[in-house]
């Protein structure tokens, strides 16, 4: 495997970060993972090593702690840049604990940017979210759609982080910054050696489905059956986490190959196809052979009716396209859940 250079990944022990680390290592990059393990487990590194054949260098650190971060970035100042996943991400929790979300998500980014600029690390990829669009007026939503007022402190942190990045690039503090606006990441590596580790009762649809199928949850609730959609349930653009991981590598390669001028760019990262909640349930039933018991209940406050991505910009400029189907997403999520159930027995 050729060494294509060193990349620092914050939050690399987490759900999306771990899949990105696998993808980068398989492509020949040397990866340095920074994670405080506040929402992940050290055993993830074993999974990454088993899949990619390489155990990444790991530093357990809270990126908000500047002196500790400084020592690590100083050691790895020869890296090309940083992929920044580390953040808190639970929408409901952010409503209850807004200050913790602002402190970690904004404080973490500011600490990282300051320290990066000190050591001449001037390329960054940032995890943003389609939540910035709210309910778009036109679908599929393009990057030209206006950013809507955030529905939660979590969503607000993503918007503010994007603004901070834009201003930092405008001031020529960084050479290249790309925000990737993820739609709904689901699924797991086909090996089932890494995947999502939701804490407590999952809020998101796919982990709730797999836990219900595994008998860990009694009732799957479908939040709203009276939306203005073909089957009455909300529509989202679910994207396989391995496709999402590849998007980071291609964004990184755009920064590596681009000319020296400073620019802030942002891209939608979805499949370009919308699926309703009932379609996700049907896909899961198809691939697992399990019939799910579910009940249609009231709408969940704050949910948008429908959103899916126009991915033309990422397709044309990054040369990236999602390849995996909804059935592959459901099957890999199920394989991962079954593996976790076996390991608990």
The residues of the shown chain that bind ligand UD1, judged by CB under 6 A, are 89, 91, 129, 131, 155, 184, 203-205, 208, 221-223, 234, 236, 277, 300, 302-303
Token pair for 343 = 């390991």
Residue with Cβ nearer ligand UD1 (11 or 81): 11
Active site residue 154: yes
How many beta carbons lie within 10 A of that of residue 3, not counting itself?
8
Partner in contact with 247, chosen from ligand NAD, ligand UD1, none, beta carbon below 5 to 8 Å by kind = none
Partner in contact with 203, chosen from ligand NAD, ligand UD1, none, beta carbon below 5 to 8 Å by kind = ligand UD1
Partner in contact with 245, chosen from ligand NAD, ligand UD1, none, beta carbon below 5 to 8 Å by kind = none
Residues 167-186, one symbol each (x = binds ligand NAD by CB under 6 A, - = not), give ---------------x--x-
Query: Does 207 interact with ligand NAD (rule: CB under 6 A)?
Result: no
CA distance 311 to 316: 9
Partner in contact with 223, chosen from ligand UD1, ligand NAD, none, beta carbon below 5 to 8 Å by kind = ligand UD1
Give Cβ neighbours of residue 192 (< 8 Å, ≥ 6 apart): 332, 335, 336, 338, 339
Please identify which residue in 37, 106, 147, 150 interacts with ligand NAD, judged by CB under 6 A.
Answer: 37
Q: Are strands 235-236 and 275-276 parallel, antiparallel or unpaired?
A: antiparallel
Could you tell me the CA-to-CA distances from 188 to 23, 124, 162, 243, 335 in Å, in that order? 13, 25, 27, 10, 8
Token pair for 249 = 């590598």
Residue with Cβ nearer ligand UD1 (203 or 282): 203
Token pair for 213 = 């199928």
Please identify which residue in 24, 31, 33, 39 interacts with ligand NAD, judged by CB under 6 A.
Answer: 39
Using the CB atoms, write b or e for 34-70: b if 16+ within 10 Å.
Answer: bbbeebbeeebbebbeebbebebbbbebbbbebebbe
Query: Does 62 interact with ligand NAD (rule: CB under 6 A)?
Result: yes
- Return the active site residues: 154
């Amino acid at each position: 495997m050729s060494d294509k250079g060193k990349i620092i990944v914050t939050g690399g022990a987490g759900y999306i970060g771990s899949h990105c680390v696998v993808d980068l290592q398989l492509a020949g990059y040397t990866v340095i993972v920074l994670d405080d393990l506040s929402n992940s487990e050290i055993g993830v590194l074993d999974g990454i090593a088993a899949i990619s054949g390489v155990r990444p260098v790991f530093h357990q650190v809270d990126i908000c702690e500047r002196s500790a971060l400084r020592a690590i970035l100083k050691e790895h100042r020869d890296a090309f840049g940083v992929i920044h996943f580390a953040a808190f991400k639970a929408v409901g929790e952010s409503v209850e604990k807004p200050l913790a979300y602002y402190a970690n998500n904004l404080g973490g980014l500011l600490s990282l940017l300051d320290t990066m600029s000190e050591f001449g690390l001037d390329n960054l990829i940032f995890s943003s979210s389609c939540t910035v669009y709210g309910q778009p007026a036109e679908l599929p939503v393009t990057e030209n759609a206006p950013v809507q007022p955030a529905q939660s402190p979590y969503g607000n942190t993503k918007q503010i982080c994007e603004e901070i990045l834009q201003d930092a690039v405008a001031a020529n503090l960084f050479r290249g910054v790309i925000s990737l606006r993820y739609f709904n990441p689901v699924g797991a590596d086909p090996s089932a050696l890494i995947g999502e580790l939701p804490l407590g009762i999952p809020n998101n649809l796919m982990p709730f489905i797999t836990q219900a199928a595994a008998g860990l949850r009694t009732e799957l609730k479908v939040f709203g059956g009276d939306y203005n959609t073909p089957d009455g349930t909300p529509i989202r653009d679910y994207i396989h986490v391995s496709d999402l991981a590849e998007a980071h590598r291609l964004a990184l390669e755009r920064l590596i190959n681009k000319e020296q001028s400073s620019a802030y760019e942002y891209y939608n990262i979805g499949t370009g196809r919308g699926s309703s909640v009932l379609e996700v349930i049907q896909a899961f039933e198809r691939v697992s052979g399990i019939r799910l018991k579910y009940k249609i209940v009231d709408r969940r406050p704050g949910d948008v009716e429908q959103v899916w991505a126009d991915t033309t910009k990422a397709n044309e400029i990054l040369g990236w396209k999602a390849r995996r189907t909804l059935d592959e997403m459901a099957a890999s999520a199920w394989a991962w859940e079954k593996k976790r159930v076996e390991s608990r027995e």
